[in-house]
Every structure is written in structure tokens, then in C-alpha cells.
């Protein structure tokens, strides 16, 4: 019997193959949870440049991609890492120093934009943002929009409800679809053909995945073909959405991966300090990212007891009692 | 009178705004604590939900972000962002949602800025951005706003309008096409403000014990009516005990 194609590859190969300089990329996860960190570190290691990044509410991954010098344009709703960095640190510096062009949306707008991409429609309507600067102030000038065929001509469009006052609504905000060149997700389980299972909250990962031209999935556990099909209602993405499957244990570290491990408060607190200064950040990039050849080497460098302390317990799916100060 | 910190006072003040039947949208930090406190103290039949899609989580430990794996444990539903925001704006649930939020700047009509200080294109200070704040402020009937009482935060005019409040007052909010409800209360480290039913302008509703309305005004960049100001009822022993032992025993947020 014919088998579907095997998409298993190394992270190095997946990033080399699917993430080009100037690519429009989107990354899954939310603030300090299930960010595709191994892939982010590989992008930084390969010195990708001038990426156009789409995110809704991302924290650590956005900050490291910006800090690593990979991103020149960002469309985003929120850049923060919870209590560890209420505003992402390298992101903040880059914007204040004029090194990063940003366009702000709300979280729901970004979600709908990915959904529109996934549905293959040019825009979706919402009631969010009327009379705000999100609607009235553009981050990217019209000239930039016209020069890049991957960008729509308008940030968004506010218009009368074409159905009159149907649903007690007089005005709507139309937000344009996002079609990333590539989306990168980290998930709990996948098989080598690209059948994907996410546990816990899916955030907007599914919409981001379906909107993209290419999809890289890194997975905590690589499972045998057929096993995920025993519980199909727990799966989210069929293999035909997926271009690369990469097995990367601890692939979301230092962010959390529900039922596998918690975020690492020690790492995130230290990052906060190291990211605060340009020189200390250069040192951080060297010591943590460039001096390790891959994610496994990075994880091997971390104290085993520390990793044990953030390992999720079977009852709650996180590391209960973890010291998080 | 029991000893309490201002953070505890703020959390309890917000918790008292929450009623049984409310569906509470909260962010991280003190807003999450207020929602947890309400559920433990006065509104056991309220439901906490997060923009990440987690509904009715069993919060055994304080989450440090709305995507903290702690919000995913023992939920009714682990949904998605699309689900969460749809609950805020659909006709059945939208009217029951209370949003708790914070910001870097607030104006006299409860409009909020959580994006930049200075020019948007060349900001002096860049913040995280809207997240779901603009969405919840656009859709729901009632929002509760946490602020630090500082002149640079209570400004006559925002540098950037991230989340719509009562816009320019009177009926300007509905005229713009936004949902009819809006900001209900502003809770600071000194006082509680509300909004006039007609003009929709902020007024001083209550000051914390030992604080004079004049001191509050000194920490504001615009004038507000203080004629209606009363003294706020401080937290009770029971409220404080539950807040400290049930909600944040590690004092991760209370400090």
C-alpha cells in the first residue's frame, strides 16, 4: 500500500528551505506558552534578515527574533511576556530607536486576519476598534504598501454595515487577510506525515497554520503513524497542511508546553536582565544561541535539576509548586 | 480596622464590582486577582475567562500570563482566541461580560492608551499594545479599569487611543457604532471614579480612608467633579483573609 510522503527533517533543513530573507512569517503560541522557540533560535543562528513578522499576542519568540536582528517589520496586537516582561524588552528598544516598523492591531483583529487567510477570503468584518487609533493610524505608509505586493493597500477599512442596521450594527471594521509565506508552530504531538495534535489552548495556531503557504511543525513527541487516528477528535491539522515535521523535545523552552513542561522562571528572569543592555544582550546571543549548534546542545547545557523542576505533573499539566518569583 | 496594602484594597474594590452571573474577562496581574477574589468572596456564580480561550479554569495557582498553563487546568472548555472574542460580542453572552483592564494613560471619558507615549511613529516609550483590550472595550457592556493615580497617567488627551471608552462623552460612543455600554469604574491606589450617566465624564465616587479629594486631584492632569465623593469602605477581615490565603498565598501579585 502507498504511504503518504514523509516530511520529517532536521530543523536546520526546515529553516534553510522554508524561511528566506524577507519572508513573511507567522509564529504560533501566546506570550510565554508554546512559542516555537527552537525554530526561532535556528532562525537567529542562520542570521535570517528583514523578516516581516505577524503575531497576535506573542512574547518571548517575538522578542528574541527582534533582538536577534531578524525582523524589520512587525504586525502585532501585543508584545509582552506576562509578569516577566509586561512589554517585550528588545522589541521596545527596537521601536523606540526606530529600528523596527510596527503596525498595531487588536488581538481579535489579528485572529480574524489569520482566519480570513485560512478561509481564502480577502477580509473579515468585526466591530472592534471603531473610533480608535488602531483604525485611524497606520504603521506602514501607503507607499510601502504599494511597493510590496504581499501587503494590502489599506491597513483596514471602516465602512457602513452593507446590511443596513442588521444585528443592531451601523458600522463595521474590515480587516485584511494575512497569507504568510510560512507559519511555524510547536505542538505536543505529530506523526512524520504531518498529522498534528495540540493539547490545551490552541490560541490562533490553527488559523495561522491554515492561512500560510507553508507550514513547519516542530513537535515535542513524534508518534507512530496511525496512533493519532485512534482519537481523531483530539487532532487539529491534517497532513496536507504541513510541509515539514521536526522532532524537537523541549522545542518551546523557555516557554511552556502544556502537559510537558512549564515556562522557566529562572531563564525568563535572567533574560529580563540580559536583554536590558545592548552589550549584555550581545553576550546572551553568543552564549545561549550562537555557541550551541542546535536545540539539543542548548538543552544539554541546562542543569538537569532545573529541567526536572519545570517538568509538568500529570495531574495539572504544569509544574505545580514551582518557585516563580 | 485591619491592616491592608493599597494593592489589596484595589483588588477588593474591583472584586466588589463583580456579581453572580457575570462572565469576567481579565488580564494578568491584579485584574486576575480581583476576578479570583470575587469568585471566592461574593460572586461564586461568576465565570472567569481569558482571551486565550480558557473558560472557568480552576486557578489553583496564580497565572503569570493569560497563556500560563495554569489557566488550562480543569476548565469547562479550552477554546481559542476566536471563541473568546466571539463570546464578548455575541448577543447572548456579550451583555454579561465584564472586562477588567489597565492602561498607561486614561482620559476624562475612560478612553485608554496602552500603545505608546509620544508620537506613534517615533515613540518616547513603547508599550505592549492592545492585545485584547481594544476588543473588550469595543464590545462589552461594562469595563472596570485599574490605574495608578499619577498626573502623567490621567491626561486630558491621550497620545494614542488604543481602547475606546465613552469617546467624547454624551452619546458619541454609540454614534461611532460601538456597543452601548462602556467604562463603569476606574480603580486607583487612592480612589474610585465613575462616569456621569449623561455626560459620561469621569467623577470622583469614593476616596480611600485617610485620603482627601484634593490629594487625588493633585495627581490628575484634568479636573473632575468631587461633590459626589464618599469614603470607600475598606476591605473586611474576611475579604483580606480570602484574598491572601485562597487567591495569592505566594504573594506573586500582591508583592
DSSP-assigned states of every residue in B33-66:
HHHHHHHHHT-TT-EEE-TTSEES---SS--SST
Kindly report, residue by residue over A7-33, the tens digit of the pLDDT: 999 999 999 999 999 999 999 999 999
- Mean per-residue pLDDT for A292-307? 98
The angle, 0 to 180 degrees and rounded to 10, between the axes of the packed helices B6-15 and B30-41 is 60
d(CA A66, CA A64): 5
Supply the pLDDT for residue B94: 86
Q: What torsion do the CA atoms of A219, A225, A230, A235 make, to the nearest 10 degrees?
A: 30
From B120, B131, B138, residue closest to A57, measured CB to CB: B131
**Element spanning B193, H or E:** strand B191-195
Supply the pLDDT for residue A259: 98
d(CA B166, CA B173): 5
Q: What torsion do the CA atoms of B26, A33, A17, A91 make, to the nearest 10 degrees?
A: 60
Domain with B72, as residue range(s), is 6-247
- Mean per-residue pLDDT for B181-205? 97
From B60, B115, B125, residue closest to A320, measured CB to CB: B60
Q: Do A200 and B66 touch (CB under 8 A)?
A: no
d(CA A316, CA B59): 10
Pick among B50, B65, B158 to test the A interface (most A CBs inside 10 A): B65
d(CA A173, CA A153): 15
Strands A57-58 and B54-55: unpaired
Cβ of residue A41 closer than 8 Å to a chain B Cβ: no
Instruction: Look at residues B195, B200, B135, B192 and name the one whose alpha carbon lies nearest to residue B167.
Output: B200
Q: Is B244 helix (H, G, I), strand (E, B) or coil?
A: helix
Supply the pLDDT for residue B29: 84
Q: Do B81 and A88 touch (CB under 8 A)?
A: no
B205 in any annotated domain? yes
Looking at the predicted structure, is the pLDDT value of residue A173 above 90?
yes
- As for how many domains chain B has, the answer is 1
Q: Is A88 helix (H, G, I), strand (E, B) or coil?
A: coil
From A29, A111, A130, residue closest to B82, measured CB to CB: A111
What is the number of alpha carbons within 13 Å of residue B175 lying toward its C-beta?
7
- Residue A5: pLDDT band by 50, 70, 90 thresholds? confident
Supply the pLDDT for residue A204: 98
Q: Which residue of A has its CA nearest to B65?
A: A82
> Helices (DSSP H) in chain A: which residue ranges?
11-18, 37-45, 60-67, 89-96, 107-119, 133-136, 142-147, 205-211, 265-276, 278-284, 295-300, 304-310
Cβ of residue A60 closer than 8 Å to a chain B Cβ: no
Q: Do A137 and B160 touch (CB under 8 A)?
A: yes
Residue A319: how many other CB atoms lie within 10 Å: 23
Q: Which residue is catalytic, options B51, B61, B241, B246?
A: B51
Looking at the predicted structure, is the pLDDT value of residue A234 above 60?
yes
B102 in any annotated domain? yes
d(CA B101, CA B87): 17
Instruction: Provide the residue ranges of all domains of chain A, joining segments of one domain with +.
Output: 11-121+178-222+232-310, 123-176
Kindly report, residue by residue over A179-226, the tens digit of the pLDDT: 999 999 999 999 999 999 999 999 999 999 999 999 999 999 999 989
From A126, A133, A139, residue closest to B161, measured CB to CB: A133
Cβ of residue A171 closer than 8 Å to a chain B Cβ: yes
Looking at the predicted structure, is the pLDDT value of residue A287 above 80?
yes
Task: Note whether ipTM > 0.85 here.
Answer: yes
Looking up residue B242, the CATH number of its domain turns out to be 3.40.1080.10
B55 in any annotated domain? yes
Kindly report, residue by residue over B41-95, the tens digit of the pLDDT: 999 999 999 999 999 999 889 899 999 999 999 999 999 999 999 998 888 888 8
Q: Which residue of A has its CA nearest to B73?
A: A316
Q: Using the Cα atoms of residue B12, residue B17, residue B22 and residue B25 in order, give the sign of their dihedral.
A: negative
Count of CB pairs separated by less than 8 Å, A with B: 211
Cβ of residue A99 closer than 8 Å to a chain B Cβ: no
Supply the pLDDT for residue A225: 87
**Residue B150 burial class via C-beta count within 10 angstroms: exposed 0-12, middle 13-18, buried 19 and up:** middle
Looking at the predicted structure, is the pLDDT value of residue A105 above 60?
yes
| CB interface of A with B, residues 270-309, below 8 Å | none
Looking at the predicted structure, is the pLDDT value of residue A233 above 80?
yes
Supply the pLDDT for residue A205: 98
Pick among B7, B69, B114 to test the A interface (most A CBs inside 10 A): B69
B252 in any annotated domain? no
Contacts of B79 in chain A (CB under 8 A): 201-202
Pick among A88, A89, A103, A128 to test the B interface (most B CBs inside 10 A): A128
How far is the alpha carbon of A105 from chain B, nearest alpha carbon, in Å?
A: 7
Domains A11-121+178-222+232-310 and A123-176 are alike in CATH topology: no
| First-to-last C-alpha distance (Å) of chain A | 55
- Mean per-residue pLDDT for A62-80? 98
Instruction: Look at residues A232, A208, A309 and name the one whose alpha carbon lies nearest to residue A265.
Output: A309
Q: Do A132 and B134 touch (CB under 8 A)?
A: yes
What are the residues whose beta carbons fall under 8 Å from the beta carbon of B143, sequence distance 6 or more? B98, B99, B100, B101, B110, B136, B137, B165, B181, B182, B183, B184
d(CA B174, CA B231): 33
The angle, 0 to 180 degrees and rounded to 10, between the axes of the packed helices A265-276 and A60-67 is 30
B37 within 8 A of B243, measured Cβ to Cβ = yes
Task: Please state the length of chain B.
Answer: 255
Q: Using the Cα atoms of residue A301, residue A303, residue A309 and residue A311 in order, give the sign of their dihedral.
A: positive
Cβ of residue B169 closer than 8 Å to a chain A Cβ: no
Supply the pLDDT for residue A2: 56
Supply the pLDDT for residue A4: 64
Contacts of A157 in chain B (CB under 8 A): none
Contacts of A127 in chain B (CB under 8 A): 89, 138-139, 177-179
| CB interface of B with A, residues 129-168, below 8 Å | 129-135, 138-139, 160-164, 167
- Mean per-residue pLDDT for A101-120? 98
CATH of domain A123-176: 3.30.30.40
What are the residues whose beta carbons fall under 8 Å from the beta carbon of B217, sequence distance 6 or more? B223, B224, B226
- Residue B2: pLDDT band by 50, 70, 90 thresholds? low
Looking at the predicted structure, is the pLDDT value of residue B28 above 80?
no
Give A40 or A5, the one with higher predicted confidence. Answer: A40
Known catalytic residue: B60?
no
B254 in any annotated domain? no
B116 in any annotated domain? yes
d(CA A235, CA A199): 9
d(CA B75, CA B247): 17
- Residue A3: pLDDT band by 50, 70, 90 thresholds? low
Residue A87: how many other CB atoms lie within 10 Å: 20
B135 within 8 A of A108, measured Cβ to Cβ = yes
Q: What is the overall mean pLDDT for chain B?
A: 95
Q: Say which CATH superfamily domain A11-121+178-222+232-310 falls into.
A: Glutaconate Coenzyme A-transferase (3.40.1080.10)
B239 in any annotated domain? yes
Looking at the predicted structure, is the pLDDT value of residue B1 above 70?
no
DSSP secondary structure letter of residue B243: I
Partners of A196 in beta bridges: A190, A237
- Mean per-residue pLDDT for B200-207? 98
B136 in any annotated domain? yes
Contacts of B64 in chain A (CB under 8 A): 32, 82-84, 263, 324
Partners of B237 in beta bridges: none
A74 within 8 A of A103, measured Cβ to Cβ = yes
Contacts of A207 in chain B (CB under 8 A): 80, 82
Amino acid at each position: 500500500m502507498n504511504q503518504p510522503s514523509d516530511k520529517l527533517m532536521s530543523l536546520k533543513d526546515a529553516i534553510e528551505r522554508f524561511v528566506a530573507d524577507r519572508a513573511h512569517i507567522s509564529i504560533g503560541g501566546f506570550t510565554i506558552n508554546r512559542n516555537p522557540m527552537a525554530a526561532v533560535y535556528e532562525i537567529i543562528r542562520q542570521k535570517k534578515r528583514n523578516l516581516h513578522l505577524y503575531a497576535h499576542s506573542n512574547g518571548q519568540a517575538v522578542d528574541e527574533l527582534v533582538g536577534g536582528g531578524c525582523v524589520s517589520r512587525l504586525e502585532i496586537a501585543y508584545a509582552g511576556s506576562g509578569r516577566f516582561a509586561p512589554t517585550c524588552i528588545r522589541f521596545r528598544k527596537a521601536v523606540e530607536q526606530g529600528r523596527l516598523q510596527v503596525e498595531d492591531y487588536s488581538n481579535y483583529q489579528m485572529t480574524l486576519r489569520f482566519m480570513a487567510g485560512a478561509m481564502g477570503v480577502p477580509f473579515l468584518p468585526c466591530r472592534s476598534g471603531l473610533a480608535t487609533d488602531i483604525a485611524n493610524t497606520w504603521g506602514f505608509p501607503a507607499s510601502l504598501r504599494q511597493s510590496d505586493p504581499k501587503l494590502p493597500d489599506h491597513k483596514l477599512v471602516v465602512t457602513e454595515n452593507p446590511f443596513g442596521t442588521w444585528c443592531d450594527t451601523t458600522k463595521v471594521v474590515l480587516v485584511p487577510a494575512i497569507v504568510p509565506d510560512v507559519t511555524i508552530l510547536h505542538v505536543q504531538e505529530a506523526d512524520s506525515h504531518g498529522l498534528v495534535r495540540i493539547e490545551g489552548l490552541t490560541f490562533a495556531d490553527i488559523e495561522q497554520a491554515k492561512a500560510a503557504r507553508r507550514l513547519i511543525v516542530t513537535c515535542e513527541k513524534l508518534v507512530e503513524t496511525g496512533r493519532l487516528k485512534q482519537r481523531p477528535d483530539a487532532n487539529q491539522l491534517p497532513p496536507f497542511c504541513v510541509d515539514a515535521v521536526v522532532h524537537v523535545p523541549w522545542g518551546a523552552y523557555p516557554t511552556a508546553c502544556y502537559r510537558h513542561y512549564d515556562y522557566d522562571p529562572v531563564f525568563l528572569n535572567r533574560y529580563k536582565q540580559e536583554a536590558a543592555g545592548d552589550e549584555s544582550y550581545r553576550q546572551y546571543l553568543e552564549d545561549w544561541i550562537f555557541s550551541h549548534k542546535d536545540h539539543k546542545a542548548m538543552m544539554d547545557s541546562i542543569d538537569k535539576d532545573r529541567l526536572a523542576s519545570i517538568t509538568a505533573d500529570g495531574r495539572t499539566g504544569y509544574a505545580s509548586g514551582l518557585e516563580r518569583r | 480596622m485591619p491592616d491592608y496594602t493599597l494593592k489589596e484594597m484595589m483588588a477588593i474594590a474591583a472584586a466588589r464590582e463583580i456579581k453572580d452571573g457575570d462572565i469576567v474577562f481579565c488580564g494578568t496581574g491584579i485584574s486576575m486577582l480581583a476576578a479570583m477574589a470575587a469568585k471566592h468572596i461574593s460572586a461564586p456564580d461568576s465565570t472567569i475567562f481569558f482571551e486565550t480561550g480558557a473558560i472557568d479554569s480552576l486557578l489553583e495557582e496564580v497565572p503569570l500570563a493569560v497563556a500560563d498553563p495554569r489557566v488550562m487546568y480543569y476548565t469547562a472548555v479550552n477554546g481559542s482566541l476566536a471563541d473568546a472574542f466571539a463570546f464578548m460580542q455575541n448577543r447572548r453572552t456579550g451583555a454579561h461580560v465584564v472586562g477588567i483592564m489597565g492602561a498607561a494613560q486614561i482620559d476624562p471619558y475612560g478612553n485608554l492608551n496602552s500603545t505608546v507615549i509620544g508620537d506613534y511613529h517615533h515613540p518616547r516609550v513603547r508599550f505592549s499594545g492592545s492585545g485584547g483590550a481594544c476588543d473588550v472595550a469595543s464590545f462589552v457592556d461594562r469595563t472596570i479599569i485599574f490605574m495608578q493615580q499619577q498626573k502623567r497617567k490621567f491626561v486630558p488627551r491621550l497620545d494614542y487611543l488604543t481602547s475606546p471608552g465613552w469617546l467624547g462623552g454624551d452619546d458619541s460612543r454609540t454614534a461611532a457604532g460601538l456597543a452601548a455600554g462602556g467604562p463603569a469604574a476606574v480603580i486607583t491606589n487612592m480612589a474610585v471614579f465613575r462616569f456621569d450617566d449623561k455626560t459620561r465624564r469621569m467623577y470622583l465616587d469614593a476616596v480611600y480612608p485617610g485620603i482627601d479629594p484634593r490629594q487625588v486631584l493633585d495627581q490628575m492632569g484634568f479636573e473632575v467633579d468631587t461633590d459626589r465623593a464618599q469614603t470607600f469602605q475598606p476591605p473586611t477581615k474576611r475579604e483580606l483573609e480570602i484574598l491572601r490565603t485562597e487567591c495569592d498565598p505566594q504573594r506573586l501579585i500582591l508583592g
